[in-house]
Structures are given as structure tokens and as C-alpha cells.
Amino acid sequence: MPVSSDAETADEAADPEAQQGLPVNELFYSLQGEGKLAGMPSVFVRTSGCNLRCWFCDSYHTSWEPTHAWLDIDAIIDRVTGHDEAEHVVITGGEPLLHQETAELLDRLSAAGFHTTVETNGTIYRDTAIDLASISPKLANSTPTTAKDPRGEGEWADRHENRRVDIDALCQLIETYDFQLKFVVTGCDDMPEINQLVERLRDAAATTIRDSDVLLMPEGATRERLAETRELTAEVAMEHGYQYTPRLHVDLWNDAPET
């Protein structure tokens, strides 16, 4: 169900009267495309707003140019439960944990019997009902330098770089919830940084991080781009003993919205 079809712009949404509930970019039923639950029928609630600006962001309208409708928690629950075939709900973004209301939504969904996955960049921790924290720490390859910035400005490069890894928040998420660490791979050059971050977290976190908790995902929001990145990602996954994760939704539906 498109929530954003008559969505406000971010500027319109800045009206304090409008800011009730959560800014929702889209709410739809599909298959989970990535990670340990790939293939699972799920309702997706995509919140708008992100504290980072990856140049390759595949949800551009939640980060670079956010659009959304404001929905209160009751309205979101009504729309989710309207998909009575689904047992899994994925709260994604943007960065869904930016919003305090996301915690209330997760608590209510869990109480209603849903399995909840949160897709997060790992820079924010909240105490709530998460069955799977799908944590995607952002590597240096994500920074929107002037050359890579989709708007060609480079104004977010420093802020993004300073915020993209928060070891304390990552440890809290890992120690509190079942988790997967999902890294977007653009090339073999990313592996030293991934290995280094995994080792930092193994040293810092009280929870064991198994190689099978580390997922490598090819960068690419279109079939054409995935064709360039998935083979090398599969090869480095085998080489390092990490798990490869596909992007099933791209394989199935390319870059169609609400997939």
C-alpha cells in the first residue's frame, strides 16, 4: 500500500502540527530480500529520515529527499494486520531507530504476535521488542564525497563520516538482540575494513560474534549493478568464511518501488 503517493515533502512535514506518529514513506507486503530471513513473506514499514547519507542509498526518498505521510501507531498497526497472511514485520528506513515512536510500534507489534526485524545502520540503540536486529554498519565506501554525492555537493561527507560507526551503539544492539551484521560490499578493497570492524566488535562486545553472523551483500539496487558486484562478493564471502546474502527483491523485481 503506497503511503507516500500523496506524501508531504520534508519541509511540509516540519509543521509541528503534522508531526504525530511516525513519518512513513511506504508500507507494503513483499518477501524479505536480504539476510538470514531472505524469502520470508513480510510486511514492510519504511520510515523516513536518516542520520547518514550513503551515496548509494537505495531508499533515496527516506534520506536524501525524504517524503512521507505521518501515520499514528494505531493506523500503522491497522495496515499491518490487514495483511493477515504475514507473521513477520520488517521496520526499515531510512534509519527507523531515529524515532522514539518506532519503539512503541515494535512493542505493539510484538504483543500482537508478530516477529519483528529492524533494519538499522547501527548508530542508535533503543530498548524495545526486536526479534532480529539486522545491523548494517556503513563502511568508508559509503561516504558521499563530492565525486559520489548524488547531488554533487559533498555537503554531507564530514557529518556522514563522523557518524557512520558508533561502537557503543553497535555493542548494545549486539548484546541485547539476536542480530546479523550485514555489510554492503562494493569491491575486494572493502574486506580489510570489514575484518577490522568485526575484530573491534569482537573485542568490545560481551556477545560472541560468529562468522555466520557476518553477512556480505553485494552493492547494487538494480539487476545491472548487481551483475557487476555479486560474483566478487560471493568469492570474498567464501574466502573469509562469512555468509553471502542475496538481494532477492532486486533479482525478482529490479528496482521497482514497494519491493
Identify the bridge partners of residue 24 per DSSP, sorted by sequence position: 47, 69
Burial class (CB within 10 angstroms; exposed 0-12, middle 13-18, buried 19+) of 4 = buried
φ/ψ of 76, rounded to 5, equals -65, -45
| 192 annotated to bind ligand | no
List contacts with ligand SF4 (CB under 6 A).
50, 52-54, 57, 59, 62-63, 93-95, 121, 138
Minimum distance, C-beta of residue 238 to ligand SF4, in the bound complex (Å): 25
**Residue 70: CB partners within 8 Å, gap ≥ 6?**
8, 13, 18, 19, 20, 21, 22, 23, 24
Choose between 93 and 246: whose C-beta lies nearer to ligand SF4: 93
| 54 annotated to bind ligand | yes
| 138 annotated to bind ligand | yes
Choose between 135 and 237: whose C-beta lies nearer to ligand SF4: 135
Choose between 89 and 124: whose C-beta lies nearer to ligand SF4: 124
Minimum distance, C-beta of residue 193 to ligand SF4, in the bound complex (Å): 16
| 5 annotated to bind ligand | no
Residue 238's SS3 state is: helix
Q: For residue 211, what is the DSSP state?
A: G
Q: Residues at the annotated binding site for [4Fe-4S] cluster?
A: 50, 54, 57
Q: Residues at the annotated binding site for S-adenosyl-L-methionine?
A: 56-58, 94, 136-138
Q: Residues at the annotated binding site for Mg(2+)?
A: 59
